[in-house]
Chains A and B, each alone.
Chain A
């Protein structure tokens, strides 16, 4: 998949483009259906399949300081879109000027003048243009006038609920990993650099990798999770603690949230290396223990539970 973020390069391309529009945060099952339609129709019509993404997320520009937590990092989103067979990824800056484009201006300036699209694919609830005033139906009408086709993809449901990024964020942030996974179609994950911690885990006999994650990355609720860590293209079973480490942290109002992963049967030094953590299931909420010994005993129980969960999952997979 080719990434293009240079307007002059886009202008030089002379492609018959089919384009999927949206933010695709999470690249969840609904997005996957939409992208599959785009790829398949492109193959059948000798078009080039593509996705148009904005950087930063439009809501971040529109809502100012309020940070919208993202379900994917950029590289994860890239991998997911690529895995679905999309050929081109256009990545354009979203700023105040773009935000003020009316739906008509967006269609004319981007879809017609810049990309000369043959067909676009959008979700049933797609909105575009200034303050999201354009709807999927309006896009269809404008497409008829301007000479490109529009396919509006029907909602996808899981267990009677419409799959959406906001629903996934809600479940994920509540620690409901199983539902989030079913809505996403893959295990939710975070990634970041391993940083130097306070060596508390090592003192307890369970060394941990402390992960520095972007403030824009969505995190599951505080607690202990069974997970799979990906390092250097290899998978390691792990237990992960997310929270404020109340047993050691005496500052009640501390805002610092830590992500610590104990990788099973792993003894390498991976400071400053990139680590990806995929969450499989929540084991328990974060707790404060009266002593180091109590915490150690609980970690042993957590490890046993993690082994049990992993065995069950490996069996069914």
Chain B
């Protein structure tokens, strides 16, 4: 009998999250840009490192929404 993986729903959610993260064109632009920079810096496995950092950067991206008019934004 076929069985359903216990973590089926968790894995499905993870897959959805990854797809949402890497699907936009912006993600590929960032990966490409990082790959170019890392190659120039002579980093080992530049493409893989660039991919990893692009994913990380998109995950942690928080306050990058459009800046709204606030007094705290004047320096």
A and B from one assembly?
A: yes
Q: Is residue A110 within 8 Å, beta carbon to beta carbon, of the partner chain? A: no
A76 touches B57 (CB 8 A): no
Question: Can you show 29 pairs from A to B with CB atoms below 8 A apart?
Answer: A76-B75, A83-B75, A124-B53, A125-B37, A154-B53, A154-B60, A157-B26, A157-B30, A157-B64, A159-B64, A160-B24, A160-B33, A161-B30, A161-B33, A162-B34, A182-B66, A185-B67, A185-B73, A186-B72, A186-B74, A187-B73, A187-B74, A235-B71, A278-B74, A313-B68, A316-B68, A316-B69, A317-B68, A317-B70
A-contacting residues of B (Cβ < 8 Å)? 24-30, 33-34, 37, 41-43, 53-54, 56-58, 60-61, 63-64, 66-75
B37 touches A162 (CB 8 A): yes
The answer for the CA separation of A186 and B27 in the assembled complex, in Å, is 24
A79, A124, A178, A314 — most chain B CB neighbours (10 Å): A124
A186 touches B75 (CB 8 A): yes
The answer for the CA separation of A27 and B27 in the assembled complex, in Å, is 24
- Secondary structure at chain B's binding surface: helix, strand, loop or mixed? helix
Report chain A residues within 8 Å CB of B70. Answer: 317
Chain B nearest CB: distance from A200 CB in Å?
A: 28
Picked from B43, B57, B74, the residue with its CB within 8 Å of the CB of A157 is B57
Q: Interface size of A by Cβ–Cβ distance < 8 Å?
A: 36
B74 touches A189 (CB 8 A): yes
A155 touches B69 (CB 8 A): no
B74 touches A228 (CB 8 A): yes
Q: 1/0 contact trace for A115-133 toward B, CB 8 Å?
A: 0000000001100000000
B56, B57, B68 — most chain A CB neighbours (10 Å): B57
Q: 1/0 contact trace for A62-89 toward B, CB 8 Å?
A: 0000000000000010011001000000
Picked from B25, B27, B43, B53, the residue with its CB within 8 Å of the CB of A155 is B53
The answer for the CA separation of A135 and B66 in the assembled complex, in Å, is 33
Chain A nearest CB: distance from B41 CB in Å?
A: 6
A154, A156, A157, A181 — most chain B CB neighbours (10 Å): A157
Picked from A154, A182, A189, A280, the residue with its CB within 8 Å of the CB of B57 is A154
The answer for the CA separation of A182 and B75 in the assembled complex, in Å, is 14
Chain A nearest CB: distance from B27 CB in Å?
A: 6
Q: 1/0 contact trace for A133-168 toward B, CB 8 Å?
A: 001010000000000000000111111111000000
Report chain A residues within 8 Å CB of B63. Answer: 29, 185
B41 touches A235 (CB 8 A): no
Closest to A33 in B: B60
Picked from B41, B56, B67, the residue with its CB within 8 Å of the CB of A186 is B67
Given known pairs A155-B34, A160-B29, A161-B29, the reply for A314 and B69 (CB within 8 Å) is yes
The answer for the CA separation of A79 and B43 in the assembled complex, in Å, is 35
B25, B42, B70, B75 — most chain A CB neighbours (10 Å): B75
Report chain A residues within 8 Å CB of B57. Answer: 154-157
A160 touches B27 (CB 8 A): yes
Report chain B residues within 8 Å CB of A178. Answer: 66
